[in-house]
Structure 1
């Protein structure tokens, strides 16, 4: 297991130490992998660590060659795994509930908003559909259900007029949405030549704000890891040179954005 050393906050007796075990890169087995849930909970906990309510330790595990102690402790359970005071929380829904109810400050991240919940939770299936149809030359990615869904998010952000989905401070929905947008940007472009249109200015402004936050930047997988994640799903082989590539991170914005 590789310790990613994202320790924030202090380790004194007043602040609980939380460990998050996440999947490692499928390319080098050490750096952060492209698991959406791992990044989502990493972001949630990073925000709490910035507020000094917890001290955060992030550990990556190579699931292709998990170490013996991982197999002994967790058997076949894949990350994310949250460890709080010696207790391991293994399922995604239980991790979410634990952050909300048991981790200091966690309840502040979990906002109730049905409209936003629907916007976020239905997005990823649209990306998978786009990738599935990528080889079909008759299907235009610009008319895809993914594009229609991104327009809905853009319209929501335009109506709201705030930095983030529910206001001017981040919440759990932002930690869920932004990793998915990054996968759409990187995998959508690579496999289907899909790009988020520059006309979705509210969405780009949102991404601009997210790209400036440590919670996103520290948790974000490399472009190569996102691409390899989907290659493995499609049983495509990785080329040897990919292991030697310097990791790149797409965080540019194609439009002018004010910082207000």
Structure 2
């Protein structure tokens, strides 16, 4: 297992209860890279909860430690503690929370400041749902109709951002919807280009501007897997073997936006 003490570079706000260092210590166990078994893997849920908790660590309501586990060769202590349960796993004061919906509920109800991340917004939920499932279908079908469906869903997100006129999906501060959507957009961008030559059109300028703002945030960049890990994630799903040279590649991270887009 590889451990990393997460120390946000920038604190945006002090919160009540954080004085005297009396903040809960939270550990998040995430899947490791399927390439080197150490760096962050390309699990969407792992990145989503990493982002949630990173934002809370920035506010100094929690102290966060992130541990990566190679699920191809899990260490004995992991197997004895969690058997075959795959990450993400959240550990709060010795309590292990194992299922995704329970992790989300625990962050919302039991971790200081967590309730502020989980806001209710039916319109945002409607506009962002199904984007990822349509992307998975595009990877399977690899045809123009499936690409057009993904485009139509991305346009809905673009229109939503245009209507709201805010930096993020529900306002000018991040919330749970952003932590859920942005990792999916990164997968669509990186894996879509690699497998089916799919590119997010430059005309979706509000979506690109949104991605630009996300790329500026430590919560995203610190939790984001390498391009190679995102690609290998889908190769494994398709039963395609990784080539030797891919194991030796220096990790790259796509975080640029088109030159035509003004942030």
TM-score class, shorter: over 0.9
Runs of 4+ aligned structure 1 residues displaced above 6 Å come to: 9-12
Deviations 1:138-191 (A, max 9, x none): x22685211100000000000000000000000000000000000000000000
- Correspondence for 1:19: 27
Judge which range, 13-22 or 214-223, deviates more: 13-22
TM-score computed with the length of structure 1 as normaliser: 0.94
- Correspondence for 1:248: 252
- Correspondence for 1:60: 68
Once the two structures are superposed, the pairs formed by residues 39-188 of structure 1 within 5 Å of their partners are 39-134=47-142, 139-140=143-144, 143-188=147-192
- Correspondence for 1:230: 234
Give the RMSD, CA atoms, in angstroms: 1.6
Unpaired runs of at least 5, structure 2:
12-17
- Deviation of the 1:67 alpha carbon: 0.3
Deviations 1:82-129 (A, max 9, x none): 000000000000000000000000000011011211233311101101
- Correspondence for 1:3: 3
- Deviation of the 1:256 alpha carbon: 3.9
What SS is found at the alignment partner of 1:221?
A: coil
Taking the aligned partners of 1:112 and 1:147, their CA distance within structure 2 comes to 26
Decide whether the 8 Å contact of 1:208 with 1:257 is kept in 2. Answer: no
- Say if 1:208 and 1:2 are closer, same or farther in 2 by CA, change over 3 A: same
Decide whether the 8 Å contact of 1:38 with 1:79 is kept in 2. Answer: yes
Deviations 1:206-249 (A, max 9, x none): 00000000000000000000000000000000001111100000
Aligned length: 255
Unpaired runs of at least 5, structure 1:
none
Deviations 1:48-74 (A, max 9, x none): 000000000000000000000000000
Taking the aligned partners of 1:195 and 1:209, their CA distance within structure 2 comes to 19
Taking the aligned partners of 1:256 and 1:74, their CA distance within structure 2 comes to 49
Decide whether the 8 Å contact of 1:141 with 1:192 is kept in 2. Answer: no
What SS is found at the alignment partner of 2:66?
A: strand
Decide whether the 8 Å contact of 1:2 with 1:59 is kept in 2. Answer: yes
Taking the aligned partners of 1:28 and 1:131, their CA distance within structure 2 comes to 25
Taking the aligned partners of 1:207 and 1:43, their CA distance within structure 2 comes to 15
